[in-house]
């Protein structure tokens, strides 16, 4: 139930932000100063500042907006790093509670309401939040929407060419080699997702696991329809996340890595005992 609620929160936030971005449809490209004079609150107070940052960063790199997007990605991801560390600690605490959570689910399997109440008591007792993983994602959503708008509206970005690719052109409207970027975006998303399923197998079971594995395909489909600068941002962000997860999860001790599977061993042992008892009879 909590996992389902988590995803409803994320999807609801995404729908709200897409609606917010859609309230100010882009008719033509404009300059950053012109955004400041826009009648749209979103463009004037949010998109303008992202566009200004990208213009400023590009000036530092001799007009290279591809590198400006990279620097913006690093800054944004570093700013939310404390939230990611907090999420990591929360995930570790949740893994330690897995045996007790399984006992509660087994004990109250016929009473979902009581099961939920007991699980909430367990979370409160150990000061963990099963919905903590939503926060970093929700914070990144307006950043993505603002970046999306700033790329399409900012004339220099839209027309800029980086590594032989026009940043304002979608692969579906471009030559075949533009598809390289969506493919890389999908591959880095798959690597990131694979790391998550290995590092936290208990949280990635059943429908959740299937949903996570669909993400790379979804990213690819969106990437071929968006201006190439957007999947470029995804690639930068994915690489940052992969490196981050390596240092946060990849250096756990063997005991911590195996901590997520104590219930499996318990099931095998109990299964073995049943077989012996049946044979004795």
Q: Could you tell me if 192 and 110 are in contact, meaning their C-beta atoms sit under 8 angstroms apart?
A: no
Q: Is the pLDDT of residue 186 over 90?
A: yes
pLDDT tens, 122-142? 888 877 776 666 666 677 778
Does residue 64 have a pLDDT over 70? yes
Give the residue from 133, 134, 124, 123 showing the smallest Cα distance to 94: 123
Q: Which two tokens stand for residue 7?
A: 């995803």
Please state the pTM of the whole predicted model. Answer: 0.72
pLDDT of 195-225, one tens digit each? 777 665 555 555 556 666 788 888 899 889 8
The first and second tokens of residue 35, run together, are 């955004």
Closest CA to 133 of 92, 105, 100, 186: 92
Could you read off the pLDDT of 80-102 as tens digits, one per residue?
888 777 777 777 777 787 788 88
| Domain spans, the chain | 2-262
pLDDT of residue 265: 42
Contact (Cβ atoms closer than 8 angstroms) between residue 274 and residue 267: no
Q: What's the pLDDT score for residue 281?
A: 44
Q: Higher-confidence residue: 255 or 92?
A: 92
- Tokens (6 digits) for 112: 């979902």
């Amino acid at each position: 139930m909590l996992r389902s609620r988590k995803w409803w929160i994320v999807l609801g936030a995404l729908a709200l932000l897409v609606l917010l971005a859609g309230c100010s449809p882009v008719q033509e490209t404009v300059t950053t100063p012109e955004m400041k004079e826009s009648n749209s609150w979103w463009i004037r107070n949010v998109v303008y500042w992202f566009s200004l940052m990208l213009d400023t960063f590009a000036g530092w790199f001799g007009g290279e907006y591809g590198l400006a997007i990279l620097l913006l990605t690093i800054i944004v991801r570093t700013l939310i790093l404390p939230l990611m560390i907090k999420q990591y600690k929360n995930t570790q605490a949740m893994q330690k509670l897995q045996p007790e959570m399984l006992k509660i689910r087994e004990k109250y399997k016929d009473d979902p309401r009581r099961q939920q109440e007991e699980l909430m008591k367990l979370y409160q007792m150990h000061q963990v939040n099963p919905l903590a993983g939503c926060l970093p994602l929700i914070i990144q959503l307006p950043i993505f929407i603002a970046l999306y708008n700033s790329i399409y509206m900012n004339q220099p970005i839209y027309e800029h060419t980086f590594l032989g690719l026009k940043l304002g052109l979608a692969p579906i409207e471009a030559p075949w080699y533009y598809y390289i970027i969506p493919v890389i975006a999908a591959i880095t998303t798959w690597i990131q997702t694979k790391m998550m399923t290995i590092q936290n197998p208990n949280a990635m079971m059943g429908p959740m696991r299937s949903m996570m594995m669909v993400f790379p395909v979804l990213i690819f489909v969106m990437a071929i329809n968006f201006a190439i600068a957007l999947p470029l941002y995804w690639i930068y962000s994915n690489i940052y996340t992969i490196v981050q997860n390596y240092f946060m999860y990849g250096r756990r001790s063997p005991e911590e890595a195996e901590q997520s599977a104590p219930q499996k061993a318990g099931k095998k042992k109990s299964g073995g005992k049943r077989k012996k008892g049946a044979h004795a009879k």
